[in-house]
Amino acid sequence: MNSDAGETKVALASLVKMINLLGAEMLVGKYREDIDVFESCVRAKLFAHVEGVSAEETAVGVAMAQSLVDPVLRQLRERVRNLHASETAAMAEQATHAHRLN
């Protein structure tokens, strides 16, 4: 098998598995509130075995998939951080407003 083709197949298979994980998490997930656990699950699932592809090609393909997923995970982490900061600020504002009414 052509090395580049094997590596690409592994990277694509890894990313397809990731889509499956993300879909399941969105629909019935229990980790949507915990980015650390979610990221850990993503990294644990980011491996695919493709029949007929060597271990070396698999390693390169998985590394390729990881290089594509890493920026997405960083962006998600930042979005979660911003969301939590906004929620905290909104709750603080509500508490201040409620205190003024009493």
Over the stretch 5-33, which tens digit does the pLDDT of each residue have? 888 988 888 888 888 778 777 766 666 66
Over the stretch 57-97, which tens digit does the pLDDT of each residue have? 989 988 988 888 888 888 888 888 888 788 788 888 888 87
The confidence band for 56, taking pLDDT boundaries of 50, 70 and 90, is: very high
What are the boundaries of each domain within the chain?
Answer: 3-101
Contact 82, 102 (CB under 8 A): no
Q: What is the pTM of this model?
A: 0.64
CA angle, corner 70, sides to 88 and 58, nearest 5? 150
Contacts of residue 1, Cβ cutoff 8 Å, sequence gap at least 6: 52, 53, 54, 57
Query: Could you give the angle at which helices 35-45 and 55-101 cross, rounded to 10 degrees?
Result: 170
The encoded tokens of residue 94 equal 């509500």
50 vs 65: CA distance, rounded Å: 14
61 vs 3: CA distance, rounded Å: 10
Tell me, what's the pLDDT at 5?
Answer: 86
